[in-house]
Amino acid sequence: MNREGFLKALDSLNVWKRGGVRAPHKPLLLLLTLGRLSRDENRLVRYEEVEARMRRLLERFGPPRKATHPEFPFWHLQTDGLWEIPDADKLHKRKGGSSVSASMLRKLGVLGGLPNSVDQLLRRDPELIETAVVTLLNGHFPDSFHTSIRDAVGLSESMALETPAAYTAARRRKRDPNFRRAVLTAYERRCAICDFDIRLDDDLLGLDAAHIQWHAYGGPDRVPNGLALCKLHHHALDRGAIGLARAGSRGFELLVSQEISGTSEAFRELVDAKGRALREPQEPSQQPDSVFVAWHRREVFRGEPRTA
C-alpha cells in the first residue's frame, strides 16, 4: 500500500458510521498503534498485550456500552487493509463460521499489526504519522477529546515537529461559517447553562457554538443542533459529563452524570446545576431538536444522571 492508498483507507473508516452509531474501535486501535510506532516498538503485537489498554480506551473515549469488545478491531481491521494477522488462515480454519473470540486470541497468542508496507511507509515519514493521527481524531471525536486521547496513546501534540500542511487542511473541515454566529445570536451571546458572557472590546471570551450531535457523526450545522456554551460546559457536554433532557412541552433541563467527581467549588456548582432549565433560544424554532438530544444521550452521555 502506498501513501495515497493509506490515506484513502483512513478516510473510508471515517465514512463507515452506521447511521450515527459510534464505533470508535478501529480508530482507537490505529491511534494506539501509531503511538507504539512513534516509540519505535515492534510492528506485530500480541493481542493480550494491547487488550487491557484497548478496553480502557474504549471505556474512556467510546460510547457508553455494557461491553467494550477490544477484540473486534484487532480482528476486523484486516478487512480495511490496515491490519495484518499472519496466522489469520489458521484461525479461520479453527473458528469455523463463528467470529474470533477474545479468549481464542488470548489463548493462541495471536499477533497482529499494521501491514508491512504501511509500517515501512510510516516509519520513514513522521509527518504522515501526524497526518494520520489528525485524520482519525477529527473523523471520530470532537476537539475536546483530542488532547486526552493523544496523552492516553502516547502521541502528544508537541511530538509533531512542525505543522504539516495536511494537518491544517484536516482541521479545517467543511463547516458552515454561519453556524457559530447563528447559534450565539439565538442564545444572545451567553452560555445556555451558566450565562457566562465575558467580553473584551467586541470579542467574546471563551464562548462556543457547540454541536449536540457531533459534526463528525453527521450532526448538522443548524441552530436546533447547537447550543451557546462556555468552554467548560462545551467540554463537559462533548465528553458526556453533562447532557440534556426534555422538561415540559418545550424546554430542556440539565443532566449531570454520576461519573464525574471533584472537590472544588466549580465541581459543586456543576452538580448543583442538575435539573436546571436551560436558557431558551429567542425563537421556539431554534430549540434543540429531540433527535439530536436523544443521539447525545445514547452515544455520549456517561452512565446515569444524578438525581440527588
To Zn ion, the closest distance from the beta carbon of 299 in angstroms equals 22
C-alpha grid cell for residue 85? 494477522
To Zn ion, the closest distance from the beta carbon of 192 in angstroms equals 8
Choices 17-25, 228-236, 274-282, 298-306 (CB under 5 A): range interacting with Zn ion: 228-236
Residue among 25, 26, 140, 233 that touches Zn ion (CB under 5 A): 233
> Which of 22, 15, 13 is CA-nearest to residue 297?
22
> What number of chain residues touch Zn ion (CB under 5 A)?
6
CA-to-CA dists, residue 60 to 24, 54, 215, angstroms:
11, 10, 20
CB 189, CB 197: distance < 8 Å: yes
Beta carbons within 8 Å of 300's beta carbon, 6+ residues apart:
22, 63, 64, 214, 238, 239, 240, 243
Q: Is residue 210 near Zn ion by the rule CB under 5 A? A: no
168-197 binders of Zn ion (CB under 5 A) = 191, 193-194, 196
13-52 binders of Zn ion (CB under 5 A) = none
End-to-end CA distance of the chain: 55
Give the DSSP letter of residue 142: -
3-state helix, strand, coil in the chain (%, to 5): 50, 10, 40
Choices 18-26, 42-50, 57-65, 232-240 (CB under 5 A): range interacting with Zn ion: 232-240
73-92 binders of Zn ion (CB under 5 A) = none
Backbone angles phi, psi at 142, to 5 degrees: -70, 165
Cell 443548524, residue located: 222
Helix, strand, or coil (residue 45) = strand
To Zn ion, the closest distance from the beta carbon of 274 in angstroms equals 14
Smaller CB separation from Zn ion, 61 or 252: 252
To Zn ion, the closest distance from the beta carbon of 216 in angstroms equals 23
To Zn ion, the closest distance from the beta carbon of 119 in angstroms equals 45
Smaller CB separation from Zn ion, 162 or 265: 265
Residue among 230, 241, 256, 293 that touches Zn ion (CB under 5 A): 230
Sequential DSSP letters for 60-98: HHS---S---THHHHHHGGGGTS-B-TTHHHHHHHHTTS
To Zn ion, the closest distance from the beta carbon of 13 in angstroms equals 34
Smaller CB separation from Zn ion, 25 or 233: 233
> Which of 272, 30, 234 is CA-nearest to residue 145?
234
To Zn ion, the closest distance from the beta carbon of 206 in angstroms equals 9
Smaller CB separation from Zn ion, 134 or 184: 184
* Torsional class of 305: left (φ above 0), alpha (ψ -120 to 50), beta (otherwise): beta
Smaller CB separation from Zn ion, 104 or 273: 273
Smaller CB separation from Zn ion, 36 or 233: 233
To Zn ion, the closest distance from the beta carbon of 98 in angstroms equals 49
Smaller CB separation from Zn ion, 194 or 204: 194
Smaller CB separation from Zn ion, 196 or 295: 196
Strand partners, 200: 203
Give the DSSP letter of residue 16: -
Give the DSSP letter of residue 305: B
Q: Can you give the binding site for Zn ion, defined by CB under 5 A?
A: 191, 193-194, 196, 230, 233
